[in-house]
């Protein structure tokens, strides 16, 4: 797997993974709630956790989706194992 974009400034690194789907959110079959596709989030998390960071370097990630005509668009923040996604 290879990241789409890596931005670095000082001791901060931001990994950006871009996605384009006709529908960028999915509906949960149990609760009928609209949610983000978890496989995309876990892919980004894998990039962030496996990035060869230097000591004192902070690494975070962003999923960047192309906007669709859907009413609900992804706009979430997560902290996973101390990493900001």
**CA 30, CA 1: separation in Å to the nearest integer?**
31
Short-list 20, 7, 21, CA closest to 61: 7
* 17-73: pLDDT as tens digits: 988 877 766 777 777 777 777 788 889 999 999 999 888 999 999 988 877 777 666
Number of domains in the chain: 1
Indicate the pTM of the whole model: 0.78
- CA pair distance 19, 29, nearest whole angstrom: 23
Range of the domain at 42: 5-84
Residue from 57, 66, 82 nearest 6 by CA: 57
Determine the pLDDT at residue 78: 79
pLDDT at 13: 96
């Amino acid at each position: 797997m290879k990241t789409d974009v890596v931005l670095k400034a000082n001791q901060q690194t931001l990994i950006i993974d871009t996605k384009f789907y006709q529908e960028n959110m999915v509906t949960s079959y149990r609760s009928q709630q609209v949610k983000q596709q978890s496989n995309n989030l876990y892919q980004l998390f894998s990039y962030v956790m496996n990035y060869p960071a230097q000591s004192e370097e902070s690494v975070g990630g962003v999923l960047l989706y192309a906007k669709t005509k859907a009413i609900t668009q992804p706009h979430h923040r997560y902290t996973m194992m101390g990493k900001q996604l």
